[in-house]
Amino acid sequence: MSVRLGSRGSALAVAQATYVRERLEELGEDVELITIRTSGDERPGGAAAPETDDKARFVKEIEEALLREEIDLAVHSAKDVPSLLPDGLAIVGVPQRLDPRDALCGAASLDALAEGTVVGTASLRRRAQLLAARPDLDVREARGNVDTRLRRLGEGSYGALVLAAAGLARLGREEGEPIPQESMTPAPGQGCLAFEARADDDAVTDLAARLTDRDALVALTAERALVEGLAATCRTPVGAHARLRGDELVLDAFAGMPDGSQWIRDSATGNAEDPTALGRSVTERMLAAGARDLLDAAERSVAR
């Protein structure tokens, strides 16, 4: 069959979509890659939208193209996909996950950073966990794509940067030392790609399933269940990372204030056959520990 593959046009998004196109071509499919400009891309000077913007801005136009049947399959960074999808669309597959951890560029470890080091990030989740671990750091917003941020690091605008290890790998960049997940819980879906299609398109769904990695799909399902349960947004610093341990699924979660002054961490184990149940269970535990009030306060602090 002929497949129209939709993606954002950023360097990272195209690298991800190219990987998927190559996998589909290996299956004997004829693939056309279509890049779509999204609201999240529209910034003066080509700068990417900050991660505190509405997450749907990165997928909205691509989803509209799916619904208009202009493309057949969308490739997203899974962490960009809101927990609630438009009617008629579904996540139909997840390929093998890359390293889900964050990576520190410019230093060997968080402990190696000198007091007062300027650390750049566009993520409230990273900011919250950086300041929770090292309140002496000067955490500042970093805008632009990966290459732009790394160039500014080299120019001395920052002493260090925190970026996604998977994004660096997709772009063939060798910078960055992975930060242990015990120190910084990754973003829900980080390291995963998500395939989105029309829910009634059985042919595309079956094709996506052939590229799907069960472990990655199970982990992402648990993480997205937590995000939905906490009603997390780009203005709420939330981390979630699930991984299989034998027949069990482990889910780590984080919620905190952007200034690192308060946070909640939790970890629980559940049945890998029901990842949604584990996500909901950890949600209930986090809410019982006060996560709702904490995240509401975090959102208000960002809105000011």
**Integer Cα distance of 200 and 269 in angstroms:** 34
**Integer Cα distance of 195 and 6 in angstroms:** 10
Residues 6+ apart with CB under 8 A from 60: 38, 39
**Integer Cα distance of 276 and 273 in angstroms:** 9
201 to each of 32, 134, 151, 295, how far by Cα in Å?
18, 49, 43, 37
Beta bridge partners of 89: 198
**Which run of H or E residues covers position 33?**
strand 30-35
**What would you report as the CA-atom Rg of the chain, rounded to the nearest whole angstrom?**
19
Residues 6+ apart with CB under 8 A from 23: 95, 211
Q: Does residue 81 come out as left (phi exceeding 0), alpha (psi in the -120 to 50 range) or beta?
A: beta
**Catalytic (active-site) positions:** 80
Instruction: Evaluate whether 86 touches 67 at the Cβ level (below 8 Å).
Output: yes
